Every structure is written in structure tokens, then in C-alpha cells.
Structure 1
Amino acid sequence: MFLDQVIKKRAALPSGKDSNLKSLLKSISWRIVGTLDTIVISYIITGKLTMAISIGSVEVISKLLLYYLHERVWENISKEKTHETNKEFA
């Protein structure tokens, strides 16, 4: 209960937007939900808990890496767009 109040207090911004802390916590909780989903699906398909946990473990690492690379590509696309726009107006 106490931790919940601390998080709510720090995650709320006067503008009504999410704080960095809230976004981070939401990202972590979503990754946990996604990994648990992968483990459950893997268990249903394989019938083996150890195999399902192994697949979930690999999935967590691979998706973190893929997300990072995805973000870097989008960052570069944004920079190229801005650079091209600046050239047009120069």
C-alpha cells in the first residue's frame, strides 16, 4: 500500500501526462506481461515447463535487443528527415 502511494505521487505530473518514472514502470510491467504470455503459449505448445521458461528467457533478451535496434533506426530516420527539411529551407 505504501509503495503504491509513493509511485502515484511521483508518477503524476501537474499537466496530467505520464512522468518518466511512470513510463519506465509501464514498460517494465508490459515486458513482464509479454514474457509470461510467451511462457504460457510455449508451455501449451511444448507441454514442458522448462522448455517454456527457456523460450521466455530467450524472448526477453531478443525483444530487448530488437526494441533497442528498432528505436535507433527510428531515431536515425527522424534525424535524416530533419536534416532534409533543413536543407530545403536553407
Structure 2
Amino acid sequence: MNLDKHSRTIPLHCPTCAGTTFKSESPESLSVICTGCERVISKDELCRENEENVQEHLGEIKKEISKAVADDMRKRLQKAFRGSKGFKLK
């Protein structure tokens, strides 16, 4: 089963202007600058401010993956017991 199709990028929003583009002076920098309102915010604070959005996406991903796993298991069991006269799967 390929779980790569369930991979997604979750955009983080600026708590001030709801912008989604940020710039950083360097990759090691602990803060970013919103390109919309030029607010300087730490990466940790940005993650905390977007926690609800991240949790919502996580819930959606969990539902999609559990459905995909159940479908995959059903298909594998049907294939394994195909042609069996005493065992049927729905």
C-alpha cells in the first residue's frame, strides 16, 4: 500500500494578516517575517498559533489513511480467499 498519496503540506497562516508566505534571513534563523504585514514571529509561536489548523488536517489525514488501510485489507483478504467455497467476504 502506498501512503505517499496521503502526504500533504499544511500552510501556516500569519496570526495578524492570515498571510501564508514568510521569509527568513537564514535557514538556521529562529524567526520568520510575514511578507504581507512584515510581522516578525518566532517559528515556535507560528506553529502554536496554527495548532488548530494542523490538528484539523491531521484528523482528515487519519480518516483517509484508516479508510485506505481498511480497503486494502479487504482487497487482500478477498484475493487470498478467492475461489474458496466455504468462506465469503463482503
Structure 1-normalised TM-score? 0.42
* Higher strand proportion: 2
Which of the pair has more CA radius of gyration? Answer: 2
